[in-house]
Structures are given as C-alpha cells and as structure tokens.
Structure 1
Amino acid sequence: MNDLDDLYREIILDHYKNPRNQGVLEGPTVHAQEGFNPLCGDEVTIYAQVEDGVVVDIKITGQGCSISRSSASLMSQAIKGQPIEEVKATVSRFKRMIAVEESEGEPEQIDLRVVGELAALQGVVKFPVRIKCATLPWNTLMIALEDAQAH
C-alpha cells in the first residue's frame, strides 16, 4: 500500500462518515430518484436547484455502501456552482476515469489535477462489482438534468 492509496482511502472514508450536501432541498427545480442497487442496497435521491443553467445548490438523500455514499458526496462538491455543460463534462470525465463509458473498456488516464478528490474513486476499477456503486449517484444526477432540460 502506498501513500496515495492511503490518502484515497482517507478521502473515501471521510466522505462516507461526513457526507457533504446531505438532506432534502426545499423546492428543487430538479429531482430524481434512481432505482435500487441490489448488490449493496444503494439508493440515491438527488435534489438540485438549477438557475440560469447553473447548479446553484444540490442535496442528496439515500443509503448505501461506503463507495456509493462517498461518491455522492464527492460528486455534489464537484458540481455545485457549475454550469450544466460543465457538470456533464465532469460526469463524462468521471465515467471515463472508471471505464464505464462506451469505450474500449479500459480506464482513461485522467489528469488527476482536473478531477481533484474524485480521483479517490479511481481504485474502483479494480473491483468491477463496485462500479455500479460509484456510478449510481452520477447516473441519478444525469437523469435529473435530462428531465429538467426536457421540461
């Protein structure tokens, strides 16, 4: 185990034990609840306030394993205050980082300075069964944003 792995483990545990942007947002303009991940019992609901194409606030409720919950917390920090187009780019970078976008199936080497603390989740690629745990909040967010843009 190296120092970087230890740091990533600490980041994941911190976000699991102290999730950011937890709770229900009153009067959200965007809301989505993803289904259930039977492998871990993960459930995620996203509430967001989008104004003039910017995610000005986001709250998350749900339950799940440490990977799902820390991924939701990290995601909320990464996208809060961002324009929707940048949010979509962040989602795409995250999914490429853990090799779940329609590509060759290999993780893309991402500039870790760009993804910041999200890099802590890069180790999920070593455990394919956990990729669904890590992506559940991100997929839920995209459902919410797509619904908002359709209306």
Structure 2
Amino acid sequence: MKLDSMYQEIILDHYRNPHHRGLREPFDAEVHHVNPTCGDEVTLRVRVADGVVTDVSYESEGCSISQASASVMTDLVIGRSVADALGLEREFLALMQSRGTMEPDEDVLEDAVAFAGVSKYPARVKCALLSWMAWKDATAQAVGGIPEQETDR
C-alpha cells in the first residue's frame, strides 16, 4: 500500500469513526471556532487538572479533513501535560505550514502524520488546523493563559 493511500485511509477512518466526539462535562473551558473560508465549525471543551490535559470533547461540522483532524488531535493531547501537548500543536502547525516539504516524525505526531499531504493545499490547511487552534484557545482559557515562549515557537 502506498504511503499516500495509507494516509488517506487514516484520515477517512478518523472521519468515519471519530474519537472523543460529543461534548462532555465537567470542563474548564469551551470555545467555538469557525473557518469562514469553507464553513467548518467546531465547539470544543477542555479539562485540565494539575497541568495535564485530562479531557477534550467536541462537536463539529465540516469536511472530512477538519473532522478527522479533531479526532486525531484529541487522541494526541489527552493524558499529556499542557506543555507537551503544546509542543505537539507546534509540531503539527509546522507540518501544516511546510507545504509538503517537511518529513513528519511518526513517533511524535502518530496518526497526525497522515495530514502531511494536506499541507500541499493551502486552502485545506485551515481545515486541518481548526480544531488544533480551538484546543489551544480553550486550553489557554482553562489554565489562565499560555506563557509567551509557548506561543512563539
């Protein structure tokens, strides 16, 4: 199986069988983000305890890329420290901004490497980033802000 078709299967699997979908309580912060370009929307809730992301839940509407990205993101950040999860967000952002020139580290990004091909299509990058930006926003609200060095990397 070619790598591109394997990545496509990962995206379709997360789209058809989304993980952590459905808004749950309790939560520390809730945000609603919209991609005005294509109409994708996500409402996302975050729970943080002792510096660890203990839960992320969401409801979303939109294309398969935005839906699958939300599912993959929740798998990656739940159970990690906020600092480690922010590191993953930065790594994913770098991948999405690479326009296909970055070789993703599967050990770090796990299923998120499947979005490497998406980075070649600027119009779709916002779709893939929507839930990640919502998570970062909600997490900042939950922990009272993200230190400057965590946002500039």
Match of 1:109? 103
Shift of 1:41: 1.5
> Structure 1 106/65 Cα, relative in aligned 2: closer, same or farther at 3 Å?
closer
> Structure 1 106/118 Cα, relative in aligned 2: closer, same or farther at 3 Å?
closer
2:47–2:54: 8 Å Cα contact kept in structure 1? Answer: yes
What TM-score does the superposition give when structure 2 sets the normalisation length? 0.88
Mapped partners of 2:27, 2:64: distance in 1: 26
Q: Which of 24, 42, 45 is equivalent to 1:44?
A: 42
Query: Is 1:134 aligned to residue 134 of structure 2?
Result: no
- Aligned pairs for 1:1-151 within 5 A: 3-34=2-33, 36-99=34-97, 107-150=101-144
Count residues in correspondence: 145
Mapped partners of 1:72, 1:83: distance in 2: 18
Whichever residue aligns with residue 115 of structure 1, its letter is L
Aligned residue for 2:36, secondary structure, equals: coil
Aligned residue for 2:116, secondary structure, equals: helix
Mapped partners of 2:102, 2:10: distance in 1: 21
Mapped partners of 1:94, 1:3: distance in 2: 22
2:100–2:120: 8 Å Cα contact kept in structure 1? Answer: no
Shift of 1:149: 2.2
1:19–1:73: 8 Å Cα contact kept in structure 2? Answer: yes
Whichever residue aligns with residue 23 of structure 2, its letter is V
Mapped partners of 2:144, 2:79: distance in 1: 21
Q: Which moved more, 1:134-143 or 1:111-120?
A: 111-120
1:74–1:117: 8 Å Cα contact kept in structure 2? Answer: yes
Whichever residue aligns with residue 140 of structure 1, its letter is A
Instruction: Give the percent of matched residue pairs that are identical in Structure 1 and Structure 2.
Output: 37
Mapped partners of 1:49, 1:124: distance in 2: 29
5+ residue gaps, structure 1, are none
The list of structure 1 runs, each at least 4 consecutive aligned residues, that deviate by more than 6 angstroms after superposition, is none
Mapped partners of 1:60, 1:73: distance in 2: 9
Aligned residue for 1:32, secondary structure, equals: strand
5+ residue gaps, structure 2, are 146-153
